[in-house]
Amino acid sequence: MEKSHIFATVITTGLLCVSTLASAYDADWKRGRVYYRSVCTACHAAQAGGSIAPSTMSKSQWGTYLQADKHAKGKDSMKQYVSKAYRASIKSQNKAAEKFADVPEDELFEDIKAFVIKGAKDGDSPASCS
């Protein structure tokens, strides 16, 4: 009886670990950098009055901003700009949007988050938008 209980516990623990690993995504800050600089910076420079370098905010400030999911002073969602629909709408004018057209939205958002956190003023590699 005790052996079957131990076996069941080991199997359950293994399944939990496998499901956690399957759902984990290791963000690609380099892909986030390409998208941020090609899409976000390009749009801000052209329409919003200037680009926003990752080094303009701290890691904490970026985390709060991205968690709030507010863009344009709360007028719309940040996630709108990584949506497949948005990328499809700009892909004819933007090579990064075209290149990443099929990347899942959640992954691309995590990639951008990894880039801005890494490039934050207190990040591992403060980044400008040159």
Per the prediction, the chain carries an average pLDDT of 84
- Report yes or no on 72 lying in a domain: yes
> How far apart, in whole angstroms, are the C-alpha atoms of residue 91 and residue 83?
12
| Residue 68: domain span | 27-118
Instruction: Please say if the pLDDT value at position 80 is more than 60.
Output: yes
> How far apart, in whole angstroms, are the C-alpha atoms of residue 96 and residue 124?
24
- Report yes or no on 62 lying in a domain: yes
This prediction's pTM: 0.76
- Report yes or no on 18 lying in a domain: no
Report which of residues 67 and 17 the model is more confident about: 67
Domain count, the chain: 1
Reported as a single tens digit per residue, the pLDDT across 13-52 is 555 554 444 558 999 999 999 999 999 988 888 876 677 8
The average pLDDT across 79-97 equals 94
Asked whether the beta carbons of 117 and 109 are under 8 A apart, the reply is no
Instruction: Please say if the pLDDT value at position 92 is more than 50.
Output: yes
